[in-house]
Structures are given as C-alpha cells and as structure tokens.
Amino acid sequence: MAIRTIKDVDLTGKTVLIRLDLNVPLSDGKVTDDTRIIAALPSLRYLLDNGSALIVCSHLGRPKAREPEFSLAPVASRLQQHLGLSISMVDKVVGERAYKAAKALHPGDVLLLENTRYEKGETKNDPQIAQGLAKLADAFVNDAFGTAHRAHASNVGVATIMRQTGRPAVAGFLLEKEIEFLDQAVQKPEKPFVAIIGGAKISGKIDVIQNLANRVDKLLLGGGMANTFLAAQGYEMGDSLVESDKVDQAHDLLDEFGDQIVLPVDGVLADSFSDEADSKEANVTDITEGWRMLDIGPSTLNLFEYHLKDARTVVWNGPMGVFEFPRFAAGTLQVARLLGPITRSGGTTIIGGGDSAAAIVQAGLRDQVSHISTGGGASLEMLEGKILPGIAALDTI
C-alpha cells in the first residue's frame, strides 16, 4: 500500500495535528528514556521549518482515570529541550479549551494535548473524540507506528474524518520508515533471509511464525517459546515453561516447516526462576526435573551464527532467554552482536521492538543495525502480513 506522506502535501501556514508515540518511561516525574521522542523529531522539525503550527497528541501508559502520574507534562519538558523552543500544553484532549488553544496558534508554534487515554472513548475509536480532534486542525499526520495496529480515535477515527472532509491525512517520516523496512522484509527481502523469533510464548506469534516460515531461508527460534517446540519433538523439558495447549500446533509447524525452523540444541538451565538460581549448561537432551531452560547455550549460539553468517536480510523479534535477569541475558546480547557485521557488509537488519531493541541498545549496537522498530506489536502484525488500521486510514497515492 502506497500512502501519502508529509512530503506529498503543502502544509505551509496550516495547523497540523500530529499523532506521535510519546509513550516513554517515567520515574519521579522525569523521562528516563527519550528514544521515542528523538524518533519523532525529524517530522516535527520538517513541519516547523515549512511553516506549520503543530498540535501534538499521544497516549502515555494505560490510565484507568485521569491519574496524574500519566500526564504528558514531563514529556512536554523533554520535547521542549530537544526542539529548542517553547511548547504550550493544554490539560484536555478535546473540548472548548483545546479548541481555543489550537485556534490561537501561529506558524512555528507547538501545542501538546494531554494524554489521549484520559478520554475513555479513545481506545474504542469514539466518533465524538475523533470529531473533536478533527476540529482542531487543517491536516492530520500519523507518525505513531507503535499504535498503528490499533483503531483508536486519535489515529484511525480522526484520519477518517479528515479524508471525508477533504483534508490531508498523511504519514510522517517515522511511520514511512517503519513501513519501508518491514514491508521490504515481508514482500521483497534480499536473500538469504533469516528471521529470529524469541520471547516467552508462541501464543501471540503463531501467525508470525507461519507467515515468515513461508518466506525465510531459516527461522531461528529461542526464548521460552522454543521449549514448546522442543517438547513437541519429544524432549523432556523439566520445569521449563511449556505451553502444553500449543504443543500440537508446534508439532504441526515443525511438520510443515521443518527444513526452515532451527531450534536450540543446548541451554543455560536454572533450578528456580531467579537471577540468583544455581545454573548450568546442558544439551536439550539432558534437561531433568527441577531444572528449567532460561537462556540458549553456546552450541546454539554457534548454530545460529552459522545460519546468520551469509544472511542479507535479518528480522529479529523477541529475546533468546529471560533477558530481565542479567545472568540469563547473554544469549540475547550475543545474538545482538552477530547483526553488526551483516549490516556493515550491506545487509538489512531489522529489530522488531521490545526486549530485542533493548538488547541492541544495551550491547551498544544501536548504530550497527539498519532499523529498530518503535512498535513491537505493530511490527509483529506487519510481519504476519496484516494491513494495519492506522496505516489503512491514511491518504493513498
């Protein structure tokens, strides 16, 4: 799907509502990781340089009511520092105060609306909220890939109304970049194409595995989800996490895609689910009661490295072990380090958000991969081959 972007429309002198993903971590009222804010800057600067007035909206967390700890006020302060200009903020999303603040803007001004999820109907795509947002601006820009797989009022609802009333509803640079990389991986990857899928469970990733297995040369599986596949092969997994109700599905996937799927051959075992647990390395044939696999082992890393060494396209989503425990993060970090040489040799390496992205940053390899997605759930759905509603609602070429 080819969609229009901010480069395809003249927004000079226009008031632009831009949906960003400013769902950043906070501690003591301060932003602790501004990666998503930095990712939004190119679109903001482009629009400001071209004479637009900006109204920024975003969600933050999952507030059940108007809880102060979910206010975007700390985000406004950090965004102000990055842009080097004063940002005004209104404590509403829609309504008279938001409307008056929007109409008072001049080219070069930036207004931040309060957390969109303070409005109960936001996540239900409430038409009244969408109408209220549409009243604020002459055009809409969606640059929030992290919510593109959800049909909310602040992305799908407002975009739909904008298009119905003849006003632009286009993508920002970040959304454009996400689509470009992920669409390339799914539709026209340079071969050999290798996917790495991890995480605790296969429940939410069966469709991804199915879709990618049809397209990749090799599909490397790690994390807790690999345990279920190993159990499907008949291995005893001791106290390891195994989704017993998914073993049959794992068995069917192995029957169908056995030539593509590569499973761990060894792991780092622990005698309890704790960073303080006793641990040992063992082959997957030697996991006994009282022990659980919490990370992939050195032989598995060698196997994965073998399959990655000639790869020209790599997509990675999900950690190889219990990444939150430092003692069981080595497999994930080592896989992260395998991607740098692929990128430097001209290959394409795409990280699908979440713990995979954290591993890349922790390993100091942010600049050694082609693309780090800002949306874990959205990237997964694109890898499933789905058309995301937040993208489908925009103007097409």
Which residues are annotated as catalytic?
Answer: 36, 201, 354, 377
SS (H, E, C) the chain: CCECEHHHCCCCCCEEEEECCCCCCEECCEECCCHHHHHHHHHHHHHHHCCCEEEEECCCCCCCCCCHHHCCHHHHHHHHHHHCCCCEEECCCCCHHHHHHHHCCCCCCEEEECCHHHCCCHHHCCHHHHHHHHCCCCEEEECCHHHCCCCCHHHHHHHHHHHHCCCCEEECHHHHHHHHHHHHHHHCCCCCEEEEECCCCCHHHHHHHHHHHCCCCEEEECHHHHHHHHHHCCCCCCCCCCCHHHHHHHHHHHHHHCCCEECCCEEEEECCCCCCCCEEEEEHHHCCCCCEEEEECHHHHHHHHHHHCCCCEEEEECCCCCCCCHHHCHHHHHHHHHHHHHHHCCCEEEECCHHHHHHHHHCCCHHHCCEECCCHHHHHHHHCCCCCHHHHCCCEC
